[in-house]
Amino acid sequence: MTDDFRAAVLHNTHEPLVIEPVQLAPLGPRDVKVRIRATGLCHTDLEVIEGSLRLPLPIVLGHEAAGIVEAIGPDAQGVAVGDHVILSWNPKCGDCFYCDHDLPILCDTYQKNTPAAFAFDRQPKARLRHGGDLHQLMYLGTFGDYCVVQDQQAIPIPRDMPFDAAALIGCGVMTGVGAALNVAQVRPGSSAMVIGCGAVGLAAIQGVALGGAQDIIAVDLNDQRLKAAQQMGATRLVNPRTDAADAVARALTGGRGVDVVLESAGNEAAFRLSMEAVRPGGQVIWLGKTDVDQDVAFRWGSLMQEKRIRRSSYGGARPRRDFPFLCRAYLDGRLNLDGLITQRITLDQINDGFDALRRGDAIRSVILFD
Ligand SMILES: [Zn+2]
Ligand SMILES: [Zn+2]
């Protein structure tokens, strides 16, 4: 073991994270040691804290981050010391059935190694000061001063990209914008609905706008979030407490329904609405999730008429292609990332940040490191 650094460790579910000194393991051949500069708090982290996503403990959470490369292993490629990078949580083997079928998110090795919650080579990269390996969420674990990843997970970005905005690209923004541009492949002039206006939904709204969508309906139960949706490009705001969103979709489209629905709310009502609001032959992309053992019911007729449904975890991400594109869109003023950041906090305030996420009054809290 080499260096000591500070990390937020989850020892038991339903308990606060503990900020404590931990030790880094020596770098493996393809490892990259990244000094974390900014990292976002995402719902998937909260799922581990609350036990609905069951992973081995103790674990360092955090999977949406940007930083600076401080050291690399002898065989690491594509990245150099000093590079500014965004971290990807989808390493892939490049050789398996799913990698060959252009679905790296289903890569055999990625899927097989995920439950162990170590690095992609299955090795622990950090341990508690008094012994005991530390697990890493999603091949990352960015709630600490450092994170060790495989070379393919550290994507170099322009130096003028601010770290807080860059961090969001690593998960929520990639997922939302990617769902619109990579998965749905939204076309100019089309109509779209986005259900759920958290970070992913607000990114999805911007994604359909970047794709040239003309009518963009934003749906959320929270009027503050709808206001944010309008700033991100939504042309019609619907709070289901007062309006029927599927009726709005039909009224805007000559009775057909919208071309594309992007769902990012993760509840049964949202999944049902997505099928009712899309037109015959249209596309539904589900980004949210409920407990994997929960049943979800649909009116059968809403599933008919050549509708296409796809569930996507990472917006069809190809990090080496997409992260630099998203940085460029931000730097050119076409992608609003600052509007997604509701608070900037320190690592010591991480548990308060998760409380805000639980209450639903944060879009994204971002931890900044000195
Ligand atoms: Zn996430
Ligand atoms: Zn593979």
C-alpha of residue 240 to centroid of ligand 2, in Å: 41
pLDDT of residue 1: 45
Q: Which ligand places an atom closest to the C-alpha of 88?
A: 1
- Is the predicted pLDDT of residue 336 greater than 50, yes or no? yes
DSSP result, 309-343: EEE-SSTT--HHHHHHHHHHHHHTTSS--GGGEEE
Cα 305 to ligand 1 centre (Å): 33
Q: Which of residues 359 and 91 earns the better pLDDT score?
A: 91
**Number of C-beta neighbours around residue 52 at 10 A:** 13
What distance in angstroms lies between residue 42's CA and the mean position of ligand 1's atoms? 5
Q: Which ligand sits nearest to residue 110's alpha carbon? A: 2
Residues of the chain with CATH 3.90.180.10: 4-156+337-368
- The residues pairing with 24 across neighbouring beta strands, listed in sequence order, are 126
Distance 315 CA to ligand 2 centre (A): 18
* Helix ranges, the chain (H): 43-49, 97-100, 108-113, 163-168, 174-178, 199-210, 223-231, 245-252, 268-277, 319-331, 350-359
Taking the CA of 48 as reference, the closest ligand is 1
| Class at the top of the CATH hierarchy for domain 176-311 | alpha beta
pLDDT digits (tens, 9 = 90+) for 153-203: 999 999 999 999 999 999 999 999 999 999 999 999 999 999 999 999 999
Distance 310 CA to ligand 1 centre (A): 18
**CA atoms within 13 Å, Cβ hemisphere of 76:** 25
* One-letter amino acid of 218: A
Taking only the tens place, the pLDDT of each residue in 35-47 is 999 999 999 999 9
Could you give the residue range(s) of every CATH 3.40.50.720 domain in the chain?
Answer: 176-311
Work out the widest C-alpha separation in the chain, in whole angstroms: 66
- The distance of Cα 110 from the centroid of its chain, to the nearest Å, equals 17
Q: Point out the ligand nearest to the CA of residue 93.
A: 2
* Nearest ligand to the CA atom of 91: 2
CA distance 299 to 277: 12
**346: which strand partners?**
none
* pLDDT for the residue numbered 370: 83
Q: Is 65 helix (H, G, I), strand (E, B) or coil?
A: strand
Ligand whose nearest atom lies closest to the CA of 289:
1
Residue pair 81/70 in contact by the 8 Å Cβ criterion: yes
Q: How far is the CA of 114 from the centre of ligand 2 (A)?
A: 13
Dist CA 70 CA 52 (whole Å): 34
> What gap in Å lies between CA 181 and CA 16, rounded to an integer?
37
Tokens of 102: 């252009």
Residues with CB under 5 A from ligand 1 (ion): 42, 44, 171
What is the topology classification, in CATH, of domain 4-156+337-368? Answer: Quinone Oxidoreductase; Chain A, domain 1 (3.90.180)
Q: What percent of the chain has pLDDT over 70?
A: 99
